[in-house]
Amino acid sequence: MQLTNLKVSQVSCAVASAIVLTSSMTAFAQDSPRLRTPRRAVPGPIQSTFRPPHVDSTVTGTFNTDQGPGAGPIGPGPGCNVFPASANIGTAVGLSYFGPPPSTVNQSLVGPVQLLNTGQIDATNGTITIPLYLGHMLGGQNVWYILTDVDDPGVAAELGLNFSAKMSFMGNAVRTANIDANADLVFNAGTVDFSPVRSVTPGPAGSEFPPTAYQPGSVGDSAYSPFIQIANAGNVIYNAPIVAYNVNASDINFPNGNVDYSKVHDEVVAIDPINMTVTIQLINGFSFGRPVWYMSMDASIPLAASIEHNTYAPLMANLHLGDDDSFSSPIERIFIATNGAESGQCNNPLRQGLSADLADGHRPNNTLGGIPTLALDYSPAWDANLYEWTQAAISSGYRGQLREEFNILTFVQDGLLTGPGGAPFGSAGFSINCPIVIRLN
């Protein structure tokens, strides 16, 4: 079934999570039986296969203290749902009379393109189910992880991962691993504690960002980064976020949801260590005007990890920021509104930004830079560029939803946008690990 044929508009799901923060925020700032992991899940058509238990915390107002990923990317209104409408809207014929999307001929053309091809996307709930891998620390502790990106194009094509040339420049922010005699990864360092209880306390109404208090739901030690270099396999660099640590299969067997988030990453919707799969929540965004879904797995500062429902990864702070697309740059930019339109919540088609997210619990609709099929400069490590609408722009009625990088940069040039608090626009000094999953159009 083509993605464009799915009647997602008929689905009503709550949405929660958030994404990232401010240049000033830096100041806030046992062994189990060996399980053989599949090299790759067999990909199939984008379809609805799993429906997690659903509680609408946006009604109860608990979304800023909920554990887990929050609701999915299919929101209850146009401000919280970027899924494109069917092509036959406004015509006199059904969608079946239309030819296939142009993207089936050339992936750079309009139409859906699944970019992470290791498993199936559930378009009804906005999740992806991908392989779960089991490795070990040098001390023998179990490391449950996923693979999303790699800096070798041949490996990317073979395994269905995203290729990122920029990852080759991540050397100062990677931890190392080796493949053992059983073809399993053994990591030299980097652990994650999943027991903390996530919470975020928003600022006052209308200025919910920055929050007044926060606690990430999972915290890595000083040696933890999701990025790994396999020393005895060509020094290839992978994006391999940890989703559970130092637990046995029986401790994290939640194939139908109801996950224990004191043991598992908050973005996990379901985890099956018997069949070696994990279902991850997806997040709304845009790249050069195209709607996309991506994961959010780690962040380099605690505030970002708290809002993002992801893991604080201290070693990510070693990534060089601020020099997007220059030689040796390991990052790509993500553009995040602090004070975008929030009145009307999801009913507002212009809704966007961190204050909106902290006020209603739905996705902030961030704008990504280059992704595969649209550009060559993709990296899963996104350098957060926060922007603030000036009061003059707001008073003139100019504030709206921005979906394209150069549109944002032009508005900065024209004085409509600044950095937080009127500061110069640019890198906010932290990064987020957000692997791209699908371009929706």
Provide the pairing of β-strand 113-114 with 436-439.
Answer: antiparallel
Q: What is the pLDDT of residue 72?
A: 84
Domain ranges of the chain: 3-29+33-439
pLDDT of residue 334: 98
Q: What is the spatial distance between Cα 340 and Cα 365, in angstroms, rounded to a whole number?
A: 10
Rounded to an integer, what distance in angstroms lies between the CA atom of residue 198 and that of residue 260?
13
Residue 320 to residue 76: CA distance in whole angstroms: 38
Check: pTM over 0.85? Answer yes or no.
yes
Q: Where are the beta strands (DSSP E) in 35-190?
A: 113-114, 120-122, 127-131, 133-137, 142-145, 149-150, 162-163, 175-179, 185-187
Q: What is residue 58's predicted lDDT score, i.e. its pLDDT? A: 57
Q: Split the chain (441 residues) into runs of 10 and give each run's mean pLDDT.
A: 37 31 37 40 40 51 90 90 94 92 96 97 96 97 98 98 98 97 97 98 96 98 98 98 98 98 98 98 97 98 97 98 96 98 96 97 95 98 98 98 98 98 98 98 96
**E strand map for 188-303:** 192-193, 199-201, 213-215, 218-220, 227-230, 236-239, 242-245, 268-272, 277-281, 283-287, 290-294, 298-299
Cis peptide before 210 (omega within 30 of 0): yes
The reported pLDDT for the residue numbered 254 is: 98
Distance between CA atoms of 53 and 73, rounded to whole angstroms?
A: 15
Structure tokens belonging to residue 323 = 């020099």
